[in-house]
Structure 1
Amino acid sequence: MSNTDQQEFWSDRAGPSWIARQSQLDALFQPVLDLVLDSADLTAGMRVLDVGCGTGTSVAQAADRVGASGHVTGIDIAQTMLGQAERTFSNRTNVSFANNDAQTYPFDLEQFDALISRFGVMFFSDTTAAFANMARGLCKGARLTMAAWGPAPKNPFFMTPAAVAKTMLGPLPPVDRTLPGPFAFEDADRILPMLRDAGLTDVAVQSVDLALTPAGDAATLARLCCDIGPAQSALQHHDATAQDRANLEAAIAAQFAANDTAQGLRIPACINLYSARKPA
Structure 2
Amino acid sequence: MDVAQPLDGGQSALWNGAAGHAWVAMQQVLDQMFEPFEAVLVAAAAREQASEVLDVGCGAGSTTLALAARSGAQGSCLGIDVSEPLVALARQRAGRAGAQARFLCADAESHPFAPERFDFVTSRFGVMFFADPVRAFENLRRAAAAGAALNFVAWRSAADNPFMTAAERAAAPWLPSPAGHQPGGPGQFAFGDGTRVRQILERSGWVDIAVKRLDRDCAFAARDLEAYLTQMGPLGRALPHVDAPTRARVIDAARAAFEPYVHGAEVRFTAACWQVEARAPARADRRRLAADGRRRP
TM-score, normalised by the number of residues in structure 1 = 0.90
CA-to-partner distance for each residue in 1:226-252, whole Å, 9 max, x for gaps? 21113224536xx42223223322222
1:2–1:53: structure 2 CA closer, same or farther, 3 Å change rule? closer
Pick which of 166-175 and 56-65 moved more.
Answer: 166-175
Q: Answer yes or no: is the 8 Å Cα contact 1:212–1:267 preserved in 2.
A: yes
1:159-188 alpha-carbon deviations (Å, 9 max, x no partner): 211210113445444322411111111111
Aligned to 2:112: 106
Equivalences for 1:142-161 in 2 at 5 Å?
Answer: 142-161=148-167
**Gap change, CA 1:173 and 1:80, over 3 Å in 2:** closer
* Distance verdict in 2 for CA 1:170–1:54, change over 3 Å: closer
Contact 1:2 1:125 in 2 (8 A): no
TM-score (norm 2): 0.85
1:101 positional shift: 1.2
Superposition map of 1:86-125 within 5 A: 86-91=91-96, 92-125=98-131
- 1:30–1:213 Cα contact (<8 Å) kept: no
My pick for the range that moved more, 121-130 or 22-31, is 22-31
What is the rounded CA distance, in whole Å, between the counterparts of 1:5 and 1:173 in structure 2?
12
Distance, in Å, in 1 between the alignment partners of 2:84 and 2:47 is 27
Equivalent pair of 2:109/2:135 in contact (CA under 8 Å): yes
Quote the residue 2:142 is aligned against.
136
Q: In the alignment, which residue of structure 2 is the partner of 1:251?
A: 253
**Within-5 A mapping of 1:230-269:** 230-235=234-239, 239-261=241-263, 264-269=266-271
Distance 1:216 1:132 in 2: 41
SS at match of 1:123: coil
* 1:66 is aligned to 2:68: no
Find the counterpart in structure 2 of residue 126 from structure 1. Answer: 132
Contact 1:17 1:227 in 2 (8 A): yes
Report the aligned-residue RMSD: 2.1
| Residue number among 174, 190, 194 corresponding to 2:196 in the alignment | 190
- Between the aligned partners of 1:198 and 1:244, the Cα distance in structure 2 is 46
Gaps of 5+ in 2: 1-5, 283-297
Cα separation, 2, equivalents of 1:36 and 1:45:
11
Residue 145 of structure 1, CA deviation: 0.8
| 8 Å CA contact 2:225, 2:267 repeated in 1 | no
Deviations 1:52-105 (A, max 9, x none): 101111111111111221211111112221111112212424111122111111
User: 1:221 — aligned with what?
Assistant: 225
- What SS is found at the alignment partner of 1:185? coil
Is 239-248 or 179-188 further displaced after alignment?
239-248
Give me the whole-angstrom Cα distance separating, in 2, the residues matched to 1:12 and 1:171: 20
Per the alignment, do residues 95 and 42 of structure 1 end up closer, same or farther by CA in structure 2, a change over 3 Å counting? farther
User: In structure 2, do the counterparts of structure 1 residues 60 and 172 end up closer, same or farther at CA, with 3 Å as the change threshold?
Assistant: closer
Matches of 1:129 and 1:98 in 2, distance apart?
19
Partner of 1:275: 277
Distance 1:263 1:43, change over 3 A: farther
SS in 1 for 2:70: helix
| SS in structure 1 at match of 2:11 | helix
SS at match of 2:253: helix
Instruction: Output the amino acid matched with 2:266.
Output: G
Distance 1:78 1:170, change over 3 A: closer
- The answer to whether the Cα contact below 8 Å between 1:42 and 1:65 also exists between their aligned partners in 2 is no
* Contact map agreement 2:222 2:262 (CA 8 A) in 1: no
